[in-house]
Structure 1
Amino acid sequence: MGSLLIKNARNIITMDGKRQRFPGGSIYIEDQEIKAIGTDIPYETADTVIDARGKIIYPGLINTHHHLYQTFTRNIPMAQDCELFDWLITLYDIWRHIRPEDIYLSAMVGLGELLKSGCTTAADHFYVFPDGISGELIDEEIRAAGELGIRFFPTRGSMSLGRSDGGLPPDEVVQKESVILKDTQRVIETYHDNSRFSMIRVGVAPCSPFSVSRDLLKESANLARSYGVRMHTHLAETKDEENFCLEKLGLRPLEFMEDTGWVGDDVWYAHGIWFNDDEIMKMGSCGCGVAHCPSSNMKLSSGTFPIMKMLQNGVKVGLGVDGSASNDASSMLMEVKIMNLLHKLQAGSTALSAEDCLYVATRGSSKVLGWEDGIGSLEVGKAADLFMVDTGRLEFAGALFDDASLPILTGTSQVDMTIVGGKIVVKEGRLVNIDEEKLAMRAQIAASRMLETAAKHTKMNYYKPRIQSFEKQLY
């Protein structure tokens, strides 16, 4: 890949252990690795030189929880005023008609939006495998990530407990446990790379206590640990989930995880809103992590994540966008702002600062993913994953007083440049080597087709006129 020199930055916000800043600083990169950073580095030239005058440089944001396939079910009116269980039931009838090409396109859109909002590493949780559709759907997400150049952490999700067996999802989107375990093993062996600057790591991720069996959780944990990969699942997201676990299993959600081997420093949960104080202490002592997803939690009325208790008890906390259908966006910068505002409302003057929230979305997220040796901060020996904003933009006028907080408090949703592993992937706010308009058109056609198919098979006739109207505009 050669060398890259970024020089004369207005400021470099490192998020290293000392939270150093380097006004007027430069960064020298060879291949993926940062070799020098500061205001007086011994490098004056490189294969590629970027003059960052007027730009602020930040470490790339790290998304610890997403469902990229949901990008095609954003802004669905029937799913806007539901809590989690009803929301899922509504959307399962659409997701059951998803095709491999839909997975690829939805990942291209979601990951592209993440890159344009300063995200350089994304974890995804894919768990919907409809009957009659190729089981190698997660491969389509991996293909998209490779084309866009984002660092990717896909987790092979699963659902084995359909409605006929007392679970929440329809039987048409669950799989046999033998099929799940075999394909999970295939994904790990085919794609997982545990090296420091890997572009892809793989995790094991049964969906939730209300969609998988006890046996699948135990076998998935055994499989993950036999390969040394991390484990991920939804947990303690809503009171409905807690009630389900108590009624069906006789255990609280975390007790169920303990019973099936799903606690430890190789485990991270999504959401984690409804843990009690003893459970939070236990999670901190055993090294569990949590992906905090504020926008999704607010939209689905799930509750407010107890972030201060989590951090005070040593729980690893990172930031997650969550599925586009429960967020309606894939913007990491917007997510950091919402996180900051939510916890200001919750805790007032004792809440995390904007810079603290940036730390959660960078260093915190890298710890949740077990990747702190390679990503999460800008310092010598780490990967050159970063984004830049141009302080000459109109939306920053009158706000140039705290460079660390600037893109968070001002609420900007897009960055000017994103670099992953020393490679420019967003330039002047646009994806590099991607025709964004063409991609957007292909994606909307696919989303409309999926919704139309769902309308034919369910009571969703409400959507048919809207779909037909849009298709006329396209052609």
Structure 2
Amino acid sequence: MPEAVPCDLVITNAYIYIDSEREIAGGWIALAEGRVHSVGADPRQTPAATTRIDAQGRLVTPGLVNVHHHMYQNLTRSYAPVVNASLFDWLTMLYPMWAEIDDESVYLSTWVAMAELLLGGCTLSSDHMYVHPRRELIDAQIRAATDLGFRFYANRGSMTRSTADGGLPPVTVVQDADEILADCVRLIDGYHDPSPGAMTRIALAPCSPFSVTPQFMAETARLAESRDVRLHTHLAEDRDELTYCRQVYGMTPVEYFEDAGWLHDRSWVAHFIFPSAPEESRMAAAGVGVAHCPSSNMLIGGGTADVQRLRRLGAPVGLGCDGSASTDHGSLWLEARAALTLGRYRGGSTAMTARDVLAMATQGGAACLGWADETGHLRPGACADLVIWTGSPVALAGALTDPVEAWLRCGPMTADTTIVAGRVVVRDGRIQDPGLDAVLAAHAAQARRIQKVSLR
């Protein structure tokens, strides 16, 4: 008989969180051809492999899934004049700066955002790119993802209602509806890959009820259905949004969403802080996913979604970093810890566990993106997207009984090794792409240009 072909990589001596139903202490996981080949507990059954990594007892999880981000916003990270502003105030001040983004700045900001996500254990992210002062900016994002080897769900965001039409954004960052829809078709035809193991997919993502018309929301929903792609938007994020929708449309944000034909399992929404109880039930029953962004919610101070109620109702709930303009970091681990502490603050000491949060950060996020069959878990056949976690020995001293709880409670934790599609992209806590320093220098120059801050 011919000798068996070895696996590409085997990780041994690990505490493996496979999914919400199964964990293995002291186990191994084998990867082959970009997939999880097998998982086991008996070291005698470990397959042969070209490369072996001894996890030294550390926690291994599926790669985290980020379901809401605005990557270009790291060009205005922690911008001082708006760090303490309300949602509408900081949007109004930052829109003119964001109108200065171009192909180069979008490539660089996306590259930096994805590198930061990888260092925080995220292997799949969506991004809601809704400012388009120039054409083909999504193309620049996809180039960055391809260069880094990152699994990417690009959201073709859009705004059609400017201040001239009673909306919030200035004229310089909105587009004509026909131009947007034509570009959506172009991106779907050019980049959307519905096949198993895809590295790039496209969703359609009008920004919010205060920046697009109801007619355009409905047209986008019809296009998404005809091309079998997903839909994303901000919804019920802010009390000002609630007031705006009642005054302009004569309905709540959720009623606006329903009326436009978005109430189905093709959709997921960001924040969802201010629905009524019946609206929560209707959204959950329809299978609409929710991106929970706890750090953004707390920094803006506008409230937070009742994510445990939504999960009990059956809604898919994932975690999102949100944009740097509000959150100022791109670590999904930090979001996970914030979800744990905020959930317990809101509901009491039994309201949220680390396993609840890890399930949201993996399987819940994959469900929001319609990708739960292949991502968010480490069952055989899944995409080989996973993380070996590490932390300070001082911070972890005495944490002997529960690696999953320790993962969030004894942090900070970082990715020692991040693997995407079977390829090691973070090793020993460092991005493996040799271009990091050059990208950071170029990014700094673009940030100074956009913020009009001179180098001192």
Match of 1:347 in 2: 347
Letter aligned with residue 157 of structure 1: G
Within the candidate set 33, 40, 43, 2:42 is matched to 40
CA contact (8 A) 1:55 1:391 kept: no
Distance 2:202 2:208 in 1: 18
Residues 374-385 of structure 1 aligned to structure 2 (within 5 Å):
374-385=374-385
RMSD: 1.5
What SS class does the counterpart of residue 342 from structure 1 fall into? helix
What SS class does the counterpart of residue 48 from structure 1 fall into? strand
Distance 1:2 1:129 in 2: 47
Match of 2:109 in 1: 106
Shift of 1:43: 4.1
Match of 2:123 in 1: 120
Pairing 1:92–2:91 present: no
1:80-126, Cα deviation, whole Å (9 max, x unpaired): 11111111001102101111100000001111000000001000000
Shift of 1:336: 0.2
Shift of 1:411: 2.8
Residues 233-244 of structure 1 aligned to structure 2 (within 5 Å):
233-244=233-244
1:206-255, Cα deviation, whole Å (9 max, x unpaired): 00000001111111111111110000000000010010000000011111
Shift of 1:410: 2.0
Distance 1:428 1:63 in 2: 22
Q: Percentage identity across aligned positions?
A: 41
Match of 1:67 in 2: 70
Letter aligned with residue 198 of structure 1: A
Match of 1:461 in 2: none
CA contact (8 A) 2:163 2:171 kept: yes
CA contact (8 A) 1:6 1:52 kept: no
Shift of 1:67: 0.3
Pairing 1:223–2:223 present: yes
What SS class does the counterpart of residue 258 from structure 1 fall into? helix
Pairing 1:191–2:206 present: no
Distance 1:7 1:164 in 2: 57
What SS class does the counterpart of residue 414 from structure 2 fall into? coil
Match of 1:457 in 2: none
What SS class does the counterpart of residue 244 from structure 1 fall into? helix
CA contact (8 A) 2:7 2:37 kept: no
Residues 6-405 of structure 1 aligned to structure 2 (within 5 Å):
6-16=10-20, 18=21, 20-40=22-42, 42-130=45-133, 133=134, 135-390=135-390, 393-405=393-405
Residues 400, 381 of structure 1: CA spacing in aligned structure 2 closer, same or farther, 3 A cutoff? same
Shift of 1:76: 0.6
TM-score (norm 2): 0.96
Structure 2: unaligned runs, 5 residues or longer: none
Shift of 1:392: 6.9
Distance 1:400 1:109 in 2: 35
CA contact (8 A) 1:5 1:28 kept: yes
* Count of residue pairs brought into register by the alignment: 451
Q: Which moved more, 1:398-407 or 1:146-155?
A: 398-407
CA contact (8 A) 1:205 1:233 kept: yes
1:137-166, Cα deviation, whole Å (9 max, x unpaired): 011111111111111001100000010010
Distance 1:76 1:99 in 2: 19
Residues 433-444 of structure 1 aligned to structure 2 (within 5 Å):
433-444=433-444
What SS class does the counterpart of residue 419 from structure 2 fall into? strand
Q: Which moved more, 1:236-245 or 1:431-440?
A: 431-440
Letter aligned with residue 177 of structure 1: A
Residues 106, 210 of structure 1: CA spacing in aligned structure 2 closer, same or farther, 3 A cutoff? same
Distance 2:405 2:141 in 1: 32
What SS class does the counterpart of residue 49 from structure 2 fall into? coil
Runs (4+) off by over 6 Å: none
The structure that is strand-richer by fraction is 2
What SS class does the counterpart of residue 189 from structure 1 fall into? helix
Match of 1:407 in 2: 407
1:352-410, Cα deviation, whole Å (9 max, x unpaired): 10111011110111111110110001111111111002467443223233111222112
Distance 1:441 1:298 in 2: 31
Distance 1:155 1:65 in 2: 9
Letter aligned with residue 89 of structure 1: T
CA contact (8 A) 2:391 2:414 kept: no
Shift of 1:342: 0.6
Letter aligned with residue 227 of structure 2: Y
Match of 1:459 in 2: none
Shift of 1:263: 1.0
Distance 2:268 2:100 in 1: 29
